[in-house]
Amino acid sequence: MIPPERPLVLPSVMSADMTALGGQLGELCAAGARVFHVDVMDGHFVPNLTVGPDFAAAVARSVRPHGGLVDVHLMVERPGYLLEAFAPHADAISVHAEADPHLHRLLGEIRRLGCAAGIAINPGTPIDFVTALVGVVDYVNCMAVNPGFAGQSFIPTTPDKVARLRTELPDEVWIEVDGGIAPGTLPAARDAGASWLVSASAIFGAEDPVGAYRRLAELAG
């Protein structure tokens, strides 16, 4: 379990330089990054394909020696079949509320495998989906874009939704905001109560990813 003591910026590895992955992740660890976000897309739940457990293992091998942790975001239909394969390389795993009718069982399985259990919700999904899961959920990934691609714009109603989640959820359930996090959008997400702020393009799309990470981390506080 990883109850965050203060807001953290999670580099989303899908936009890293795949030809220099280990070095880039090591530099971010040295700059203070603690949790790394791995986006898994199946081409069905979202119209894009990304990576599998071997990639999560490579990220874990790169960051764990520096004290880093791995957050796996499964944008996959019926993700139960993947949990055992990802769990050894993950410290936290989120599954989408829209992707499986048996969320209670899935979250229990994620915890049984030794990871923090997260529920991700799309921008169009109401927060009632997650309030019904209090007791079995460790964190909520409140998507600030429709999942599938990096580089999209932050949906401006997200902070209101995060604030409502923060009011409804017990303190020990933390909130992650994923998508469109940049210097202009991070403060509103943080002020609404987000503890994990995921960013791909604003870090890896910058000329100086470490400098961009530091700037976001300073804004996170």
Catalytic center residues: 39, 178
CA pair distance 62, 201, nearest whole angstrom: 20
Among 9, 14, 110, 162, indicate the residue that binds ligand DX5 (CB under 6 A).
14
Segments in the chain forming alpha helices (H): 21-30, 53-63, 83-86, 103-112, 128-131, 158-168, 186-192, 201-204, 209-220
| CA dihedral angle for residue 131, residue 42, residue 210, residue 7, rounded to 10 degrees | 10
Among 10, 40, 73, 199, indicate the residue that binds Zn ion (CB under 5 A). 73
Residues 111-130 that bind ligand DX5 (CB under 6 A): none
Q: Among residue numbers 169 through 188, which ones bind ligand DX5 (CB under 6 A)? A: 178-181
Residue closer to Zn ion, measured from CB, 30 or 58: 58
Residue position matching structure tokens 């429709």 = 146
- Would you say 105 or 139 has its CB closer to ligand DX5? 139
Instruction: Return the ∠ at Cα 49 (arms to 165 and 198), rounded to 5°.
Output: 35
Stretch that binds ligand DX5, among 1-9, 25-33, 54-62, 144-152 (CB under 6 A): 144-152
Q: Choose from Zn ion, ligand DX5, none: what does 185 bind? Cβ within 5-8 Å by kind.
A: none
- Which helix H or strand E contains 140, and what residues bound it? strand 139-143
Q: Which is nearer to Zn ion, 43 or 65 (CB)?
A: 43
